[in-house]
Chain A
Amino acid sequence: MSVKTILEARNVSKVYGSGRTQVTAVRGVSLSISAGECVALMGPSGSGKSTLLRVLGLISRPTEGSVIIQGEEVGDGECRRARLRNRFFGYVHQEFAIIENETVERNVMIPLQYANPKPGRQELRSRTRLVLEQVALGWALKKNASQLSGGERQRIAIARALVNDPVVVLADEPTAALDGKTAQEIITLLLSIKERGAAVLFATHDDRVAKQCDRILRMIDGRLVE
């Protein structure tokens, strides 16, 4: 059975700053991720995991090399990149990255607001409700995001990452700010995304998280070593 590559990086490098302050965060990384695969990206702090995730997720542009999505190279045009971010990716981050002064419902429906075609109001609401029920937050629909606990906020971020049926979910240290029990709940929830056919890429320090993945990649000083 052939495994379909959905996301690929070819010789990607990322340099921040210039002159004396120049820092090379990622050096010539090539990797590929297949549909339904769960990959852990491990390495010490500052090894370039987050930067690589940002480049793969089209949040940051590579200085060199290219990102290929379903066989097509991603160009430089911001509108196309924005469209791909919306259609292709879900993002989960350790600081939750939610809008505190908005309701849970409004936070989760953000990706649907920029979808093309944009769903109607009824569909927008029903899909938001459905995904919140899947992460056991159906009761919090109209609550303000700032009223919820850390674990619940992370579930909001996961619900938002899933609402658009992404092909790849990128999770950057998703459990770093959580206690052990809540962290395992979040990991179980993220791993369940595989059942929907989506790939999950974790950047993590945590061996317990990595052991639950199909494949482990290690980064040191911006290079992929394994």
Chain B
Amino acid sequence: MSSAMYIVGTLGFLALVFAAFVSSARLTMRQENRAFKIRQMYGATPIHISLRIGGFLAAVALVPQVVLLFLLLVFLLVTGAPAPGATLWVMLALILTFVFLWFSAVREVRAQEQIGW
């Protein structure tokens, strides 16, 4: 019973972290929206914009975290700590979150016809 409560608690905590992470990334994207629209006005194609959004999200929501997790993984492997593979699962979760954010951000930017001003 106590282990089930622990799992539920951990899942709840992870869900909260995920929600905070997604809303913070979306807020940043909204602030950058104007820049994307100005770029579209001057010839950026949907591919340019998708790549730019992907690069931007990777820089704030993927690469720093994955690098830190990789260092943690190396540390756990070197010190022989139990369950070093857990970091890989977290990396996978981050990558999936990144893909979700990228897809939804591109859809949001492209859904609005208004570009430029």
Contact = CB atoms under 8 A, between A and B. Distances in A.
A148 interface: no
Contact of B113 (A61, A87, A93, A111): A61
Contacts, number: 59
B44 interface: yes
Interface string A200-225: 00000000000000000000000000
Contacts of A83: 43, 45
Given A61-B113, A93-B117, A172-B117, A114 B41 contact: no
8 contacts: A78-B45, A82-B40, A83-B45, A87-B43, A97-B41, A98-B38, A111-B43, A172-B117
Given A85-B42, A86-B43, A93-B117, 5 more contacts: A79-B46, A82-B44, A83-B45, A86-B42, A95-B117
Contact of A99 (B35, B43, B114): B35
A87 B43 CA distance: 8
A115 interface: yes
A91 B46 CA distance: 20
A86 B38 CA distance: 11
Nearest to B34: A99
Contacts of B45: 78-79, 82-83, 114
Interface residues of B, number: 18
B39 interface: yes
Nearest to B116: A59
Nearest to A160: B42
A43 B38 CA distance: 26
A60 B114 CA distance: 7
Contacts of B34: 97, 99
Contacts of A114: 39, 42-45, 48
A138 to B, nearest CB: 21
A9 to B, nearest CB: 18
Interface string A72-85: 00000011001101
A78 B43 contact: no
B115 interface: yes
Contacts of B116: 54, 57, 59, 91, 93, 97
Contacts of B44: 82, 114
B38 A85 contact: no
A195 B47 CA distance: 35
Interface string B40-76: 1111111110000000000000000000000000000
Contacts of A164: 42
Contact of A78 (B38, B39, B46, B117): B46
Interface string B93-117: 0000000000000000000011111
A15 interface: no
Contacts of A98: 38
Which of B38, B39, B44, B48 is the most central at the interface, judged by chain A CB atoms within 10 Å of its CB?
A: B38
Contact of A60 (B38, B43, B48, B113): B113
A136 B113 CA distance: 34
Contacts of B117: 59, 91, 93, 95, 97, 172
Which of B41, B42, B45 is the most central at the interface, judged by chain A CB atoms within 10 Å of its CB?
A: B42
Contacts of A61: 113
